[in-house]
Structure 1
Amino acid sequence: MRRLTYIQIVYLRLTCGGVIVHGSSVIKLIVTVVTAVVLGVSNISAASAQEVGGEEGSLVETALAAEKQAIQQGVSERAEVARPSKAEITDEGVTGDTYFGEISVSFGDSVKLEDVAWTEYAADVETGAVARSSSGVGTLIQTEVVAKHEDFVEKEWGLSMPKGVEAVVFDDGSVGFRMDTGNGVSAVSETVISAPWAVDEDGNPLETWYEISADGSSLRQIVDTQETEGEIVLDPQITYG
């Protein structure tokens, strides 16, 4: 089923027959849409996250704040591709079509994402997992609590790829996908997982890197938490093309 964007949902509620929004509600919705368009950073503002309310809203707000901090610190960058393809949220993560076929990144079987109303986010409050799809970009954001004197945190992200496709870590820390086409020649997909980022609860960037599992079925993100205690937020961001 095709996912509706935040703005599309508001538009349908305002104009479709049988759905009526009165007076101040209309103004409030229009203001929220204008705010989202002007910000241009994501499809939900901090104020909108608060309006969602409850644990879901709090989790999304935490994820959004951490992502903004990572961008401001210069540790989170969106990859550019010539021909973006659509990213979709699944029950466990994100997926999208590539030149090689469908490639998915997931939190794992323990996570069951549910859509957060009025947003392009899905969340699992119990596991601290948040996912977002925006055009050709799929983002997974995980919150973790670090114990005192814990040296490193390791997070396993599931990878699902067509047969013959291999994930590889590039020198800049990003992860690409390639396939052997024979005669020693490899084709490389435009689809890429950006270099990882992680921040502590004060927004300070933490050293982090990716490793590919021996069988290629998972992406291990390692975060140096030797000088950190409390909540941290980390994420992989995949751009499909």
Structure 2
Amino acid sequence: MKKIVVFLPAHNEEVSLPLVLKRIPAEIDGLPVETIVIDDGSIDATSEIARQHGAIVYRFENNRGLGAAVREGLLRSYEHGATVAVMIDADNEYPADQIPDVVRPILLDEADYVFGSRFLGTVDGMRLYRYIGNHVFTWLQCVLLKRRIHDGQSGMRAFSRAACKHAEIIHDYNYAQVLTLNLVRKGFRLHEVPIRYRVREAGKSFIRFNYIQRVLPAIYQEWRRPIVPLSSEERFERKEHLG
């Protein structure tokens, strides 16, 4: 049965998480929506609150990092039979009610990998250093991939079933840049849709001050890795799940 799986990486998000879960639609274009929370070693009530709101919970005993949580979310979404998987941050910065907008390009076979783009939509309250950092890392992806990208740091993304299967995240700390380099170089079609964005009201961000120091080597490592483009069979698989 076709279905949408929404997964949320979460670390100590007991305040913001229920606000996000309440806004996730029960169905999208007639397809049921299943929700998974990847609890990245929280020491608060994140897991309990997720279960109270009907989410399936997979929990790490220790805090492993956002990259590890997203990797787990993609794996679990595939195992749960997702036609399309959606990742959305649990911090209530991204609009869960716009998940259908991010999913539709995949359902229409226009894309395999979709960003909810803040900079094509509206941004409310982002501090200057984050604004500059977002644009610098996005520019770097544009240069490496030789294509236009507006928001390469987005925490709201959709994946076709084939993209879930073939996505690789090479380090546990973060995922944003290396995942895009990996999927686009393999031949998965990237698309962006405008979303509304506002800064978080509670909780603590995954991003730390040593972000640049840890992420730049990972980008270099991913870029140097040999990538095998999709075979003709895998390209057929990319479309088959929509049939």
Per the TM superposition, whether the score is higher than 0.5 is no
TM-score using structure 1 length: 0.28
**Rg: which structure is higher?**
1
Q: Which structure shows the higher helix fraction?
A: 2
